[in-house]
């Protein structure tokens, strides 16, 4: 940024935006409720401990933790009331609690919209890469007016990139011999990506909520990811691995992430592995197989580091989930029974429930250890009961056990 970019003209701002009244009221209410709750809990803790000569460690710990929480709430509250966006004829000024940022309008390359489930923001991108962007949270009042002003005065980089990508796609001879055929290929790819995403989400929910019959649910999770990768070949570049909200190209990443994540989660929750010595070779084989499919059908994905890391993680999750699941589902070995005693039991409920039993040493296990069990098994036993543990060798040579 040169010297002229740092010299601003005088005069009042032509537009001023502050935090929306509703958002201020919400933050103030949360702060008041948080403070009242903290004082109530703290007062109860001291009143129950001090008069009876009890240890005040818990009360002081609550004091420290609560003070940190109140400090955070106070910061958010002060920042909410301090935030101010000023638009001048030649610059934009964004005032926050801990500082102020300014950019000349003619030094701004454009803006991007960042929309998540809980928050919206508009990011001003400067022409000079050495200058930091300004991210403006759209909790301001009359945000529609500001977004419309930005659309008139600044370049929408998301829209510009979309139009450039669309022009490139419609000029790509690999997608078809005419512009109509290429547009049709893009629409077909979008429908297929949507179908994969819906099916992948449906199978993941089936496997996570109620995997019955279990073999079919896990089998579907194992089949979907490689099938999705192979399908890239049939769309000649119109379908890709990576996914963007605003792009003419469609992506299979959502379907792969949900299905591979659900497969790995089910394997982690459902199978108690006794020894991991033989896990490495089958895992590497499955992992490299998925990587090979990705290289064959989505080779350009590896050129972008963030996307490559995502694909690497997907392949690793698939390798883990498939190895553990196949090892258990196809195991035909005879079980070896052992006896153990329940030392303690605990259940965790919430968005997802889990149940745990701590067992005394048994067979190969020389130390007491807590394991996760099904709700049926958890309800059947209480502390002190004797349980039977059955050990199997595993189809892939990875020993695992189950509690009966």
Give the pLDDT confidence of 210-263 residue by residue, as tens digits.
888 999 999 999 999 999 999 988 888 888 888 777 788 888 989 999 999 999
Overall average pLDDT of the 31-57 stretch: 68
The DSSP result for 57-76, as a single string, is HHHHHHHHHHHHHHHHHHHH
Residue 191 has pLDDT above 70, yes or no: yes
SS3 state at 82: helix
Give the pair of three-digit tokens for residue 58.
């818990």
Residue 90 has pLDDT above 50, yes or no: yes
Q: How far from chain centre, in Å, is Cα 328?
A: 28
Overall average pLDDT of the 171-194 stretch: 90
Q: How confident is the model at residue 92 (pLDDT cuts 50, 70, 90)?
A: very high
Is 16 within 8 Å of 95 (Cβ atoms)?
no
Give the pair of three-digit tokens for residue 21.
């009244």
Q: How far from chain centre, in Å, is Cα 274?
A: 30
Helix (H) or strand (E) segment spanning residue 224: helix 214-231
Overall average pLDDT of the 379-391 stretch: 85
Report the C-alpha gap between 313 and 308 in whole angstroms.
Answer: 9
Q: How far apart are the first and last CA of the chain?
A: 71
Report the C-alpha gap between 166 and 1 in whole angstroms.
Answer: 32
Is 318 within 8 Å of 286 (Cβ atoms)?
yes
Q: What are phi and psi of 356, to 5 degrees?
A: -135, 140
Q: How confident is the model at residue 378 (pLDDT cuts 50, 70, 90)?
A: confident
Is 8 within 8 Å of 104 (Cβ atoms)?
yes
Report the C-alpha gap between 337 and 192 in whole angstroms.
Answer: 49
Helix (H) or strand (E) segment spanning residue 203: helix 179-209
Report the C-alpha gap between 1 and 364 in whole angstroms.
Answer: 68
Is 279 within 8 Å of 320 (Cβ atoms)?
no
Residue 286 has pLDDT above 90, yes or no: yes
Alpha carbon dihedral 127, 131, 132, 138, in 10-degree steps, equals -40
**Is 336 buried (19+), middle (13-18) or exposed (0-12) by CB count in 10 A?**
middle
- The residue behind tokens 């005032």 is 95
Q: How far from chain centre, in Å, is Cα 125?
A: 25
In DSSP terms, 120 is beta-bridged to 115
Give the pLDDT confidence of 97-127 residue by residue, as tens digits.
888 899 999 999 999 988 765 678 999 999 9
């Amino acid at each position: 940024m040169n010297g002229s970019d740092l010299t601003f003209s005088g005069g009042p701002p032509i537009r001023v935006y502050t935090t929306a009244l509703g958002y201020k009221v919400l933050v103030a209410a949360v702060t008041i409720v948080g403070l009242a709750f903290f004082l109530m809990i703290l007062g109860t803790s001291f009143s129950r401990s001090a008069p009876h000569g009890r240890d005040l460690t818990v009360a002081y710990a609550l004091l420290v933790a609560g003070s940190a929480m109140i400090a955070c709430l106070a910061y958010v509250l002060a920042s909410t009331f301090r935030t101010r966006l000023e638009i001048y004829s030649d610059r934009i000024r964004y005032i926050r609690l801990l500082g102020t940022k300014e950019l000349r309008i003619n030094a701004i390359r454009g803006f991007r919209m960042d929309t998540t489930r809980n928050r919206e923001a508009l990011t001003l991108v400067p022409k000079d890469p050495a200058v930091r962007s300004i991210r403006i949270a759209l909790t301001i009042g009359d945000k529609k007016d500001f977004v419309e002003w930005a659309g008139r005065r600044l370049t929408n980089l998301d829209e510009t990139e979309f139009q450039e990508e669309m022009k490139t796609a419609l000029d790509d001879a690999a997608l078809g011999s005419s512009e109509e055929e290429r547009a049709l290929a893009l629409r077909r790819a979008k429908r297929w990506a949507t179908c994969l995403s819906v099916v992948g989400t449906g199978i993941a929910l089936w496997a996570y909520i109620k995997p019955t019959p279990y073999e079919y649910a896990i089998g579907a999770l194992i089949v979907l990811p490689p099938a999705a990768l192979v399908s890239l070949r049939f769309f000649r570049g119109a379908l890709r691995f990576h996914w963007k909200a605003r792009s003419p190209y469609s992506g299979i990443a959502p379907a792969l992430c949900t299905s591979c994540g659900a497969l790995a989660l089910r394997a982690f929750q459902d199978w108690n592995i006794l020894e991991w010595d033989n896990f490495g070779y089958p895992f590497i084989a499955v992992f490299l197989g998925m990587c090979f499919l990705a290289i064959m059908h989505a080779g350009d994905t590896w050129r972008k580091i963030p996307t490559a890391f995502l694909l690497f993680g997907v392949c690793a999750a698939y390798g883990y989930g498939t190895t553990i699941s196949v090892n258990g589902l196809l195991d035909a070995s005879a079980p070896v029974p052992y006896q153990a005693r329940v030392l303690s039991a605990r259940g965790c409920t919430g968005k997802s429930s889990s149940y745990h039993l701590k067992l005394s040493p048994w067979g190969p296990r020389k130390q007491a250890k807590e394991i996760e069990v099904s709700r049926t098994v958890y309800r059947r036993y209480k502390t002190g009961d004797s349980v039977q543990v059955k050990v199997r060798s595993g189809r892939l040579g990875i020993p695992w056990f189950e509690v009966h």
